[in-house]
Amino acid sequence: MKIDFHAHGFPREFFLKLKEYYPDQTILREDPKHGLIAVWAGTLLPVWDHGQRIDAMSRAGVQIEILSAPAVYIHVDEHSPELCRMINDTFAESCRQSPERFKAFACVPFNSMDDALAELRRALTFPGFVGALITSNVGGKYLYTPEFLPFWQEVARLRVPVFMHPQPPPGYHDDEVASLVAFPSDTTLSTMKFLYSGLLERFPELILIIAHLGGTLPFLARRIDIGFDVPHFPEKYKQIPRRPSEYMKKLYFDTALGWHKPAFDCARALVGVEHMVYGTDYFMEGSPFMDWTNTFLESLDISKSDKEISLKVIKKRSTAAMRSGFCRGRAAGPAAPLFPELQPFGSTDHWPVLFFPMSSGSIIHSHWVLEHLTFACTEKSNWSAQAMLAPFSLTAMLWADGGRSTASPTKSGSAAPALQSGITVCTTVKCYRGWVLGLVTLNLERWPLYDAGP
């Protein structure tokens, strides 16, 4: 399964509002093929078309896109709440229409922190919203400064992933299109500032996904360490207990525009293939980015075991972004789970972890889980799954076998309802560290997420 972490959409109303509020800085044009087009950072942006996007995804074998709209952060002012709500509402409607095809990263209005946190919390109540979008700089400001601290506190508390997309550097006026070189450069500068600020030390549970193979971080990782290692550099680089490159291993990189094997190998050497997620940077109808990404990943001449990992983790980050949970590719691998004190249940080799943001005593609806697991029933006739609720208490075991469902006793001896495609089951669960944790172990030989095919 290919889940595209890096895909954009821009509502028509958003472009019209940009032209209304910023007429001298907004370029709109009508294109005979694509309709209304906006220009951002020298790049042409078409209006969002739900049906066309599904067609493009199906042609490229992409099952799910996680939508984002980084252009919203060009301007940060009193109009930001309206523009962010407009985009989030459009994405919410697409997630509602096609929950099996679309998820979304929430746009956050950083004109005031009160507005930012209110919209973040509102958007994350929508089905399909899996995290927050930021850009390398927001309105010319980098996000490591104290004014953004409440945002990082909140996403750490909620345990939602944050996707960082590049933005033209502050004051960028060069005649070169920013997305060619300036984008990865600003990604690198922003991430370096973030790491040296100590935010990952303060909030080790933060999940930060960096676009485009991490910008130039993989190539410059040890160079960036010089500030920490060499006494001649300012004291501000000595405020963290470890080198920045050591924190980089906690980051996630997407594969968007990363079709150069030496660059891919450099990124893989820095964070490991288990911290790389599939991304295409698709937004323009007819763009080759999906196909180029697929062709490149299929062409990788690496060992069989590493290729299996890349297929499982890069192309098939199954539950990685499903409602704020990340999938740990291998129990014995180098990637650390979000709850390090929890170990895999039983002897299974691979296990996705699903996190559900609910309060203590809430009801977890199994049909919500089915939104992400039902495709297994349609693609494979036999499958099995166990649901375990932390800490270490198995409260329900859910089985289906070729359409024949049976109830199975739980660890505590009570009977669990059967789970089958189309059946809705409710189970009362307890809270763990403010979250409901569902650990699902899978019968891997029958589970399509880990097939080696495309």
Q: What are the tens digits of pLDDT across the range 263-293?
A: 999 999 999 988 999 999 999 888 899 999 9
149-180 pLDDT, tens digit per residue, is: 999 999 999 999 999 999 999 988 888 888 89
Alpha helix segments (H runs only) across 73-197 = 80-97, 113-123, 149-158, 182-196
**CB-CB contact of 8 with 67 (8 Å):** yes
Alpha carbons 126 and 109: distance in angstroms, whole number: 17
pLDDT of residue 387: 33
Write down the pTM of the prediction.
Answer: 0.71
Whether residue 164 is found in the same domain as residue 58: yes
How confident is the model at residue 145, as a pLDDT?
94
**Which has more pLDDT, 414 or 132?**
132
Average pLDDT, stretch 230-239? 95
Of the candidate ranges 27-41, 73-87, 364-378, the one whose mean pLDDT is the lowest: 364-378
The predicted model gives 2-16 an average pLDDT of 95
Mark whether 227 and 373 lie in a shared domain: no
Which residue, 263, 280, 299, sits at the end of a domain? 299
- Mean predicted confidence (pLDDT) in 109-113: 97
User: 285 and 371: one domain?
Assistant: no
Average pLDDT, integer, range 313-324: 33
pLDDT tens digits for 334-392? 233 333 333 332 323 322 333 333 222 222 222 223 233 322 222 332 223 333 222 22
For position 308, what pLDDT does the model report? 42
Do 182 and 250 have their domain in common?
yes
Pair (209, 137) in one structural domain: yes
With respect to residue 104, please indicate whether it lies within any of the assigned structural domains: yes
Domain containing 412 equals 351-450
Considering only residues 106 and 382, tell me which one the structure prediction assigns the higher pLDDT.
Answer: 106
pLDDT at 30: 87
Question: Do 119 and 268 fall into the same domain?
Answer: yes
Q: Identify whether residues 28 and 125 lie together within a single domain.
A: yes
Domain count, the chain: 2
Q: Tell me what pLDDT residue 304 has.
A: 54
Q: Identify the DSSP state of 335.
A: P
Q: Based on the domain organization, do 358 and 292 belong to the same domain? A: no
% pLDDT > 70, the chain: 66
Contact call for residues 439 and 353 (beta carbons, < 8 A): yes
Q: Looking at the chain, how many residues does it have? A: 454
Band of pLDDT at residue 42, cut at 50, 70 and 90: confident
Asked if residue 137 has pLDDT above 50, the reply is yes
Residue 316 lies in a domain: no
Per-residue pLDDT of 127-136, as tens digits, reads 999 999 999 9
What is the pLDDT at residue 324?
Answer: 30
Final residue belonging to a domain, choices 283, 299, 315: 299
Residues 18 and 119 in one domain: yes
Q: Are strands 408-409 and 415-416 parallel, antiparallel or unpaired?
A: antiparallel
